[in-house]
Amino acid sequence: MQQTRRPRPFRPPAGETSTRPTALPALVAGSLAAALLLTGCMGQERVCGSGRYPVKAVGNTDGQDCVADGQEPPEGYVRYPAGMVPEHVGDKWDRHWGTIVVDAEGRPTQP
């Protein structure tokens, strides 16, 4: 039976430090950074999915729903004003409208 020899571990010459490249950690870190950049809004959940838009509930601060594009909001909901529509959970307009109560016309009222 023939024995196979195992490769010996790399050892630098006496007095020298290792010159063996250690690219794997750098490659992993670079890949992770690229993935985070490519995903854009990492951790930001959209208020509504594709083909839907958000609507505000009348009479309270936290009511919100999503309606299919091309459809009117159901009774008890109004559209957000143009340019003030929340897109991501926790964005500027999502936080703003979470403190506002609106009437059936979409006008802010006292809570």
User: Which domain does 66 fall in, by range?
Assistant: 52-106
CA–CA distances in Å: residue 41 to residues 18, 36, 55: 40, 9, 22
Are 64 and 79 contacting, i.e. CB atoms less than 8 angstroms apart?
A: no
Task: Band the pLDDT of 13: cuts 50, 70, 90.
Answer: confident
Residue 90 lies in a domain: yes
Handedness of CA 29, 32, 38, 44 (dihedral sign): negative
Residue 6 lies in a domain: no
Comparison of pLDDT for 29 and 84, the residue scoring more: 84
Whether residue 41 has pLDDT greater than 50: no
Average pLDDT for residues 2-20, to the nearest whole number? 70
Residue 100 lies in a domain: yes
Residue 12 lies in a domain: no
Region of poorest pLDDT, from 10-14, 41-45, 55-59, 65-69: 41-45
The number of domains in the chain is 1
Q: Which two tokens stand for residue 40?
A: 């854009």
- Structure confidence at residue 7 (pLDDT): 77
Cα–Cα distance, 107 to 100 (Å, whole number) = 10
Q: How many CB atoms lie within 10 A of CB 87?
A: 15
Ranges assigned E (strand) in 1-111: 52-57, 64-68, 77-79, 101-102, 108-109
- Structure confidence at residue 101 (pLDDT): 95
Residue 27 has phi, psi (to 5 degrees) of -65, -45
Q: What is the mean pLDDT of the chain?
A: 83
Residue 10 lies in a domain: no
Provide the whole-model pTM.
0.60
